[in-house]
């Protein structure tokens, strides 16, 4: 399967605004990509489908619909983190800081990846740690859901206070989103097997595209994440 093409509206700002740390992270992920062909060489149904992407890209909404269509389990890693910690995400960020939250996130991601026949919606920052990316790619197909920056702002405006990293940019939401996409865009690109844009599209159309790109022949079975 050919590599996913890079959408201009994301990567133009991503390359322009990438920090040295983000570029180093992208380099490490690309080295990892070269060492495995976990999805591109699969001949059977992927054991899991993971949706990555920036907040407001539609991961939870699309994930629930896709899981229902496939009769698979839906897992939202942020919901699992909140449930196991007994606190919501903003409270965890405020009380423990981002580093501790990322530790919790990695623990949950690694545990979820042990399952099969799941649609997994990750938090927007899950790709910041290479071990998360390695686990998700090894467990199935990873799909980057994209959306134009203005679409992201429109979708998240009414819940920005519930999203700690967006709340910091309330003065100029669009500029803040562009900055964060610039930092994370290369990491999403490096982690993904496939890219699906969700801007100005119906939920049904998005789900159909994912189904078309991930459903093998009718006789295929769920294979392991990596083939030799």
pLDDT tens digit string along 179-213? 989 999 999 999 999 999 999 999 999 999 999 99
* Beta strand residue intervals within 61-160, DSSP E: 73-76, 118-121, 141-146
Mean pLDDT score, 169-187: 85
Of 125, 123, 143, nearest in space to 46 by CA: 143
pLDDT band at 156 (very low <50, low <70, confident <90, very high): confident
pLDDT of residue 3: 45
Classify domain 8-36+46-214 at the CATH superfamily level: P-loop containing nucleotide triphosphate hydrolases (3.40.50.300)
Q: How many other β-carbons are positioned within 10 Å of the β-carbon of residue 24?
A: 11
Q: Is 4 in a helix, a strand, or coil?
A: coil
Domain boundary assignment for the chain: 8-36+46-214
pLDDT of residue 157: 79
Q: Return d(Cα 142, Cα 134) in angstroms, integer.
A: 10
DSSP symbols for 9-55: HHHHHHHHH--HHHHHHHHHHHHHHHH--TTTT--SB-SEEEEE-ST
pLDDT tens digit string along 20-79? 555 555 545 554 443 334 444 444 668 999 999 999 999 999 999 999 999 999 999 999
pLDDT tens digit string along 95-151? 999 999 999 999 999 999 999 999 999 999 999 999 999 999 999 999 999 999 999
Q: Return d(Cα 25, Cα 186) in angstroms, integer.
A: 9
203 within 8 A of 61, measured Cβ to Cβ = yes
Is residue 170 scored above 70 in pLDDT?
no
3-state per-residue secondary structure call for 196-223: EECCCCCHHHHHHHHHHHHCCCCCCCEC
pLDDT of residue 176: 86
pLDDT of residue 163: 56
pLDDT of residue 166: 57
Q: Return d(Cα 32, Cα 134) in angstroms, integer.
A: 8
Question: Which residues, 6 or more positions from 151, have their beta carbon under 8 angstroms from its beta carbon?
Answer: 56, 198, 199, 200
pLDDT band at 167 (very low <50, low <70, confident <90, very high): low
pLDDT tens digit string along 84-107? 999 998 899 889 999 999 999 999
pLDDT band at 172 (very low <50, low <70, confident <90, very high): confident
Q: Is 120 in a helix, a strand, or coil?
A: strand
pLDDT band at 171 (very low <50, low <70, confident <90, very high): low
């Amino acid at each position: 399967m050919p590599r996913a093409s890079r959408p201009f509206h994301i990567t133009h700002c991503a390359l322009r605004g990438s920090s040295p740390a983000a570029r180093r992270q992208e380099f490490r992920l690309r080295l990892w990509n070269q060492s495995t062909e976990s999805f591109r060489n699969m001949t059977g149904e992927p054991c899991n489908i993971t949706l990555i992407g920036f907040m407001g890209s539609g991961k939870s909404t699309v994930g629930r619909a896709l899981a229902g269509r496939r009769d698979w389990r839906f897992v939202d890693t942020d919901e699992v983190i909140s449930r196991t910690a007994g606190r919501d995400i903003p409270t965890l960020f405020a009380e423990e800081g981002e580093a501790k939250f990322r530790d919790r996130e990695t623990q949950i991601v690694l545990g979820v990846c042990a399952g099969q026949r799941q649609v997994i919606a990750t938090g927007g920052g899950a790709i910041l740690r290479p071990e998360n990316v390695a686990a998700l790619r090894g467990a199935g197909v990873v799909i980057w859901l994209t959306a134009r920056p203005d679409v992201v702002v429109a979708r998240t405006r009414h819940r920005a206070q519930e999203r700690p990293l967006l709340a910091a940019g309330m003065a100029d939401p669009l500029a803040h989103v562009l900055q964060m996409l610039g930092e994370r865009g290369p990491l999403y690109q490096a982690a993904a097997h496939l890219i699906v844009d969700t801007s100005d599209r119906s939920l049904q159309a998005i789900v159909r595209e994912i189904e078309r790109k991930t459903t093998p022949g009718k006789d295929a079975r769920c294979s392991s994440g990596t083939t030799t």
